[in-house]
């Protein structure tokens, strides 16, 4: 299926109508998250790279026109004006890995109106989902307080594409690896993993299972120790590790029960066995809240494996985001719907130290001591720079995280900085609102 068909039907209907009416002047749309989900003090911008790939390759061909016509119940010839449509516009965006706040545009599209309209659904799909997951993963990195975190989400995410994204986004915010072999290979990540409880059960004897696994995988191994009795399993693992002369880089994995208490017991058993270098890995229903609690309790856990709750961003799986028209044919536009008011005009976000951000009109001069967040990443339908690497995005995230106020970093009850709005943007908003309200009053007046 062509990527052009990855859109909502009403986008097709509107784009077709615009072409028929020759409404093809440049339009500017903002993609912005209006409010943060509960329990969030920041967001991590993500999803831009696949968006740019989509826009660069998007073209409506004959198969697409046929699909659109069938979906609308119209003859092919009626939808033929869409044939050959491709994205020829400009994109300004916040780079992946940048920490952003509510009300700040993550992405701005300027293109002939039919083009800018047709791509809306794909852009929202990618940016919203990936920003939500990246933000959840970032909070896990904060909670782990320097301990490695790895992605175990493949089996529980909503499809293999979502699992691929979860692995990439974890790496983007600093995860040390992923269990997803395909994603590890695709993105140059470290593939990690241990064994399942079924492996232990198949042998029926923990010691034999551990020996067999070590024979098949010489070198550092991680033994899963909670299939039966966890403390007994740790003792068996310690005996086998000593028997085989395995120490450095090896670990035991706890996957159930009171992980904090069991980690203390496991550490004691390993130390008494003369294995202080053998690490403890924890998994099983972990997210930033559980990791934070374990770290604060002093549990001697060396690595956290997070899966389901992070891969689906369980407590905040969607964002209150919108892709809204802010200018058409040189005229600023805004929406006045209750609870969904938009700000008109192309914009820029200026960041001062300490996340003292200001959302301003793009044409306004930058305040002294600030840096712009939105940069041109596509012009005339082509990328203006090579695809950004995961390492570059991670470096951006780490630099922003170091500057983020403590209140926004908190796992429990975070408080996000509130961006200011420039005088120019406030003035234009008031002006456009007055103009719209005046037109509405005129439209409501009876003919004289």
Distance CA 118, CA 121 (A): 8
Model confidence pLDDT, tens digit, residues 38-62: 999 999 999 999 999 999 999 999 9
Q: What is the CATH number of the domain that holds 427?
A: 3.20.140.10
Average pLDDT over residues 225-244: 97
If asked whether residues 346 and 252 sit together in one domain, one would say no
Does some domain include residue 140? Answer: no
Other CB atoms within a 10 A radius of the CB of residue 170 amount to 32
The per-residue pLDDT for 341 is 83
Model confidence pLDDT, tens digit, residues 77-122: 999 999 999 999 999 999 999 999 999 999 999 999 999 999 999 9
Average pLDDT over residues 420-443: 90
Across 51-55, 142-146, 247-251, least confident range: 247-251
Average model confidence (pLDDT) for the chain?
Answer: 96
State the angle between helix axes of 160-172 and 120-144 in degrees (0 to 180), rounded to the nearest 10.
50
Model confidence pLDDT, tens digit, residues 170-220: 999 999 999 999 999 999 999 999 999 999 999 989 999 999 999 999 889
Q: What is the CATH number of the domain that holds 274?
A: 3.20.20.70
Does some domain include residue 173? Answer: no
Give the whole-number percent of the chain exceeding pLDDT 70: 99
If asked whether residues 8 and 123 sit together in one domain, one would say yes
Last residue in a domain, options 264, 282, 300: 282
Q: Would you say 386 and 393 are in contact if contact means Cβ atoms under 8 Å apart?
A: no
If asked whether residues 337 and 257 sit together in one domain, one would say no
Across 157-199, the runs of DSSP E, i.e. the strands, are: 177-178
If asked whether residues 402 and 336 sit together in one domain, one would say yes
Last residue in a domain, options 240, 265, 282: 282
Does some domain include residue 384? Answer: yes
Across 255-410, the runs of DSSP E, i.e. the strands, are: 279-282, 303-306, 320-328, 331-332, 347-352, 356-361, 371-372, 375-379, 382-383
Domain residue limits at 324: 3-133+316-444
pTM of this structure:
0.95
Query: For the chain, how many structural domains are there in total?
Result: 2
Distance CA 269, CA 231 (A): 8
The per-residue pLDDT for 433 is 92
The per-residue pLDDT for 447 is 60
Does some domain include residue 19? Answer: yes
Last residue in a domain, options 282, 305, 338: 282
Distance CA 209, CA 250 (A): 16
Give the pLDDT band (50/70/90) at residue 448: low
The per-residue pLDDT for 440 is 78
Please say if the pLDDT value at position 339 is more than 80: no
């Amino acid at each position: 299926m062509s990527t052009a068909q990855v859109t909502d039907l009403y986008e097709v209907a509107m784009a077709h109508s615009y072409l028929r009416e020759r409404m093809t002047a440049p339009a500017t749309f903002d993609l912005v998250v209006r409010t943060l989900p509960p329990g969030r003090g920041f967001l991590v911008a993500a999803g831009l790279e696949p968006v740019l790939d989509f826009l660069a390759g998007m073209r409506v061909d004959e198969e697409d026109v046929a699909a659109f016509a069938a979906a609308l119940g119209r003859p092919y010839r009626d939808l033929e004006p869409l044939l050959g449509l491709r994205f020829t516009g400009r994109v300004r965006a916040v780079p992946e890995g940048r920490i952003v706040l509510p009300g700040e545009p993550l992405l701005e599209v300027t293109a002939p109106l039919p083009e800018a309209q047709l791509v809306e659904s794909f852009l929202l799909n990618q940016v919203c989902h990936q920003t939500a997951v990246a933000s959840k993963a970032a909070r896990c990195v904060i909670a782990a307080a320097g301990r490695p975190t790895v992605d175990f989400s493949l089996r529980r995410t909503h499809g293999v594409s979502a699992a691929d994204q979860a692995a990439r986004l974890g790496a983007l915010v600093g995860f040390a690896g992923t269990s997803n072999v395909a994603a590890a290979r695709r993105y140059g990540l470290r593939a990690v993993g241990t064994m399942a409880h079924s492996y232990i059960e198949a042998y029926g004897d923990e010691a034999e299972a551990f020996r067999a696994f070590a024979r098949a995988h010489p070198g550092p191994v991680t033994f899963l120790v909670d299939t039966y009795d966890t403390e007994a399993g740790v003792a068996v693992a310690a005996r086998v590790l000593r028997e085989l002369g395995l120490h450095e880089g090896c670990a035991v994995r706890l996957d159930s029960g009171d992980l904090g208490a069991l980690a203390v017991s496991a550490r004691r058993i390993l130390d008494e066995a003369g294995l202080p270098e053998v690490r403890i890995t924890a998994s099983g229903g972990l997210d930033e809240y559980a990791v934070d609690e374990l770290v604060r309790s002093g549990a001697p856990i060396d690595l956290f494996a997070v899966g389901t709750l992070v891969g689906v961003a369980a407590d905040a799986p969607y964002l209150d985001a919108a892709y809204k028209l802010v200018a058409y044919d040189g005229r600023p536009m805004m929406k006045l719907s209750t609870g969904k008011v938009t700000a008109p005009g192309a914009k820029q976000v200026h960041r001062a130290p300490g996340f003292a951000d200001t959302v301003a009109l793009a044409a306004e001069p930058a305040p002294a001591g600030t840096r712009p967040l939105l940069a041109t990443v596509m012009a005339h339908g082509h990328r203006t720079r090579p695809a950004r690497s995961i390492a570059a995005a991670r470096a951006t995230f780490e630099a922003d995280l170091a500057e983020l106020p403590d209140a926004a970093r908190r796992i429990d009850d975070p408080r996000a900085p509130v961006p200011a709005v420039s005088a120019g943007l406030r003035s234009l908003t008031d002006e456009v609102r007055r103009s719209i309200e005046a037109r509405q009053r005129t439209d409501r007046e009876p003919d004289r």
